[in-house]
């Protein structure tokens, strides 16, 4: 039992690092999409940021479900996907707002995206840990079966 508890504590300490690794991969997908859409396709920075966030969210979901959160595979795939997508959409909207505000204030769009990425990372980790990938609560069972009383 103590060994299991120590393993769980070790996993929970590694969880933010794993989340950061997955987030870095998702961020690469997000930023590449952002840069290509702004520089090559002429999109506005805030809309390109949203498109990048949508792609990055799919990369992040796959990585977080399989690598970051230990109990996530116990959850039904569709249920955790929807929760994650709602969280990612909220994060995407927050990131878009930060980029739009930064650009409106004269900040270069990639610098505004750095701030947006940091803020969304922290908020997203907390929501995903406590809601999107929270393992189902263990329901108490009927308990061990006891033999019927001795009729003597």
Of the candidates 60, 50, 67, which has an alpha carbon nearest to the alpha carbon of residue 14? Answer: 67
Helix (H) or strand (E) segment spanning residue 62: helix 45-63
Q: What is the pLDDT of residue 143?
A: 58
Q: What residue ranges do the domains of the chain occupy?
A: 10-132
Q: Which pTM was predicted?
A: 0.67
For residue 89, CA distances in Å to 12, 57, 69, 78 come to 25, 8, 20, 16
Of the candidates 97, 37, 91, 95, which has an alpha carbon nearest to the alpha carbon of residue 64? Answer: 91
The tens place of each residue's pLDDT in the chain, 152 residues long, gives 555 555 454 556 789 899 999 999 998 999 999 999 999 999 999 899 889 988 998 999 999 999 998 777 778 889 899 999 999 899 989 999 999 999 999 999 999 999 998 999 899 999 999 999 887 676 666 656 666 777 76
Q: What is the pLDDT of residue 142?
A: 64
- Give the N- to C-terminal CA distance of the chain in Å, as an integer: 39
């Amino acid at each position: 039992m103590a060994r299991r508890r120590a393993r769980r504590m070790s996993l929970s300490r590694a969880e933010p690092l794993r989340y950061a690794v997955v987030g870095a991969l998702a961020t690469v997908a997000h930023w590449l999409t952002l840069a290509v859409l702004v520089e090559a396709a002429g999109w506005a920075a805030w809309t390109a940021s949203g498109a990048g966030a949508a792609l990055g969210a799919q990369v992040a979901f796959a990585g977080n479900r399989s690598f970051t959160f230990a109990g996530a595979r116990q959850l039904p795939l569709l249920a955790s996907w929807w929760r994650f997508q709602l969280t990612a959409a909220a994060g995407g909207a927050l990131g878009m707002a930060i980029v739009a505000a930064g650009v409106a204030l004269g900040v270069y769009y990639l610098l505004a995206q750095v701030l947006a990425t940091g803020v969304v990372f922290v908020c997203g980790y907390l929501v995903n840990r406590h809601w999107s990938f929270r393992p189902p609560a263990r329901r108490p069972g009927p308990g061990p079966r006891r033999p019927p009383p001795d009729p003597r």
